Amino acid sequence: MSHNHQRESGEERDAVDDLENIPLRSRPSISIRARIVTSFSLFILFCFAITCWSYWILSEMEKKIEFLEIVGKYMVEIQQARRFEKNYLLYGTNLDDALMHLGTADTILKRHSRTIRHILGAQHLKTIMENLSEYRKQLEMVGRTEREAAIQSLEPKLREYGGQMVSFADEIVKKEQKDVARMLLLAKRGPIFFVFVLIVMMFFVGNALIRQLMMALKRFMDYTKRIGEGDFSPIMPARKYRDEFTSLAEAFNRMIRELNHRQEVLIESHKLRAIGTLVAGVAHELNNPLNNSLLTASLLKEDFHTLTDEEKMEMIDDLISETERSQSIVKRLLDFARESKTSIKSLDLVEIVNESIRLVGNQIKLAKIRLDVDFEENLPRIHGDEQMLKQVFVNLLLNAIDAADKRGRVQISVRKDPESNYLLVTVKDNGPGIPEHLQSRIFEPFFTTKAQGKGTGLGLSVSQGIVRKLGGYIRLDESTQDGTSFTVSLPITYSPSEIMSR
Amino acid sequence: MSEKKLRIMVIDDENIVGKRLKPALEKSGYLVETFEDGETALARYDEEPFDIVVTDIRMEKVDGIEVLEKILAKSDRTKVIIITGYATVEVAREALSKGAFDFIAKPFKPDDLRTIIKRAANELRQ
Ligand SMILES: Nc1ncnc2c1ncn2[C@@H]1O[C@H](COP(=O)(O)OP(=O)(O)OP(=O)(O)O)[C@@H](O)[C@H]1O
Ligand SMILES: [Mg+2]
């Protein structure tokens, strides 16, 4: 069960990864503007629909009420007619009154036939009209015959038609009254229901919009943090479609490219400075093998005829080894100085640190610094760019040498962090330390306390950029009047992609 | 003209320098001893003083300038010749102001050094 769940979330991650790989430009466009306009249009449409419905139901009720009035009048007339009919049959009063009321009823029906037809339909109107005319016919027939005989023969029929006429109208009135009551209830509840639906709709639509906006903003806040920490890989939001934030992401990516370019320029210019410093030492160092060669060659020539073969051979061997020594001195500097594309390779960190120490070897000798090294054995490998890492350690060492007094002491150690998967390189000096109020500024580009022409102030800032790019970090461990210690942490990696995904 | 041979001390942490200069200078008629660090050289000087000291300026622990100062403190008659690896005006000026006889920049030929030593020897013999 739990295994299943894990698989599912794994697949989900795959989907997200896929999304991240779609170029921003080729995602379908659904702008925030379009989304807001759509939701507002939906609200307006909904309001319009509900208004139309209210209008319709009210006018329908109006018609029904009007109809009920008409039918009420009609009822009065036919009931009157029936009263006079009964009076005539019982007491022999005037029948004309009954006929007059029937006439009025007929006029009412005719005048309002449209309204009635609208409410009841043609069929019922016809039935009413028929009922009325049948009754009228019977009544007229009663009028023409003798009263006693009429009572005898025509009364049941008359009663039947009359009763039918009245009860039908009555039924209709009752039905329509019920209808009106129903509609009234509907008209009363409709708006309440509408408001409720509106609130729910607003809640969901608004919530969704706000959440999307807030999430996008938060994402961009994370991006700025990441960029601030020196991660200049382009941002690829995991979203299916394009919107205004996608344009923002594109703008960010342009900015990142620009920043990255500038960072590279800074790294390069700091490297040139470092090379400048190292060159003085290298020139010094190079003079030793050169001097050895020149002395040896000169004396070989001078005493060529008096030297034994053995002595000559020894001198030639010296010449060869001193020339090779010159070569390796030059090569070391060139390896560091050569302009080359960044290439992430599997590296032995101790070797890199040793090379860096050799690069600053002359500065150490010149300043008569005692350098202590402490390397743990069999350390795992890391991934990184050789030149850039050397640049980091060369700067830390040069800083330490600058800080340590003449005859000072610098310690450098490489070890594995027992608590994490990082290798730690610590460079420690016994210099005067960094004043507390300046400690927060040392990683700023161009911050330096060194004399003009001596320091660019780029060393630590550039180092930080380099190390962060490799997924590590560099920090000032402590700085007191007894010395300063910096530690570079680099992740242990088994493939270059591990660095990229950090 | 059987003068007493002048005693020369060569100090350079590059052992080839001593190895080559010893026979080269002995050929010119000097007594030569070579050392690879300042401390042993100074200790040896205390046992038996030298007339001319040729020292590299840049060495670990005790460097050329220190050797210069210490030797001149013991005997201001000794001529100290400084070998610099990377000739800068400041280094030369410092050495000379501290009483060095002269300086020579690496790389040099044996004859370049012989000329300077000869000058020093002449001064010593005057
Ligand atoms: N080990 C240290 N001891 C004392 N102060 C230090 C040490 N390391 C760095 N600093 C301070 O931090 C500042 C910035 O160092 P950073 O390496 O960035 O530049 P820089 O060394 O001045 O110039 P550059 O590296 O270009 O030669 C230095 O100027 C110095 O004041
Ligand atoms: Mg620096």
Q: Cα of A434 to ligand 1 centre, how many Å?
A: 9
As a three-state string, the secondary structure of A86-148 is HHHHHHCCCCHHHHHHHHHHHHHHHHCHHHHHHHHCHHHHHHHHHHHHHHHHHHHHHHHCCHH
Residue B12 forms part of a structural domain: yes
**Chain A, nearest residue to B25 by Cα:** A299
pLDDT per residue as tens, chain A (502 positions): 344 444 444 444 444 456 667 777 777 777 888 888 988 898 899 889 989 998 999 898 888 888 889 888 888 988 888 888 888 888 877 788 888 898 898 898 888 888 888 888 888 888 888 888 888 888 888 878 777 777 777 778 888 888 888 888 888 888 888 988 998 898 888 889 888 988 998 899 889 888 988 988 998 999 888 887 777 888 887 777 788 888 888 999 999 999 889 988 999 999 999 998 899 888 888 999 999 999 999 999 999 999 999 999 999 999 999 999 999 999 999 999 888 888 889 999 999 999 999 999 988 887 889 999 999 999 999 999 999 999 999 999 999 999 997 779 999 999 999 999 999 999 999 999 999 999 999 998 889 999 887 888 999 999 998 998 888 999 999 999 999 999 999 999 887 776 655 5
The model's pLDDT over A470-501, given as tens digits with 9 standing for 90+, comes to: 889 999 999 999 999 999 999 998 877 766 55
- A287/B106 touch (CB, cutoff 8 Å), yes or no: yes
Q: Cα of A453 to ligand 2 centre, how many Å?
A: 12
The rounded distance, in Å, linking the Cα atoms of A402 and A396 is: 10
Residue B1 forms part of a structural domain: no
**Residue A281 near ligand 1, beta carbon < 6 Å:** no
In total, how many domains does chain B have?
Answer: 1
DSSP string, A170-185: HHHHHHHHHHHHHHHH
Residue B53 forms part of a structural domain: yes
Residue B2 forms part of a structural domain: no
Which pLDDT score, from 0 to 100, does residue A5 have? Answer: 43
CATH of the domain at B116: 3.40.50.2300
**Residue A460 near ligand 1, beta carbon < 6 Å:** yes
**Residue A431 near ligand 1, beta carbon < 6 Å:** yes
Burial (Cβ within 10 Å: 0-12, 13-18, ≥19) of residue A416: middle
Which pLDDT score, from 0 to 100, does residue A243 have? Answer: 82
The rounded distance, in Å, linking the Cα atoms of A212 and A206 is: 10
Q: Give me the domains of chain A, ranges plus CATH numbers.
A: 29-206 (1.20.120), 261-339 (1.10.287.130), 344-502 (3.30.565.10)
Computed over every residue of chain A, the mean pLDDT equals 87
Is a pLDDT exceeding 90 seen at residue B30?
Answer: yes
The dihedral sign for the CA sequence A125, A128, A132, A133: positive
The rounded distance, in Å, linking the Cα atoms of A237 and A246 is: 8
Domain that holds residue B35: 7-125
The model's pLDDT over A17-33, given as tens digits with 9 standing for 90+, comes to: 566 677 777 777 778 88
Which pLDDT score, from 0 to 100, does residue B1 have? Answer: 43
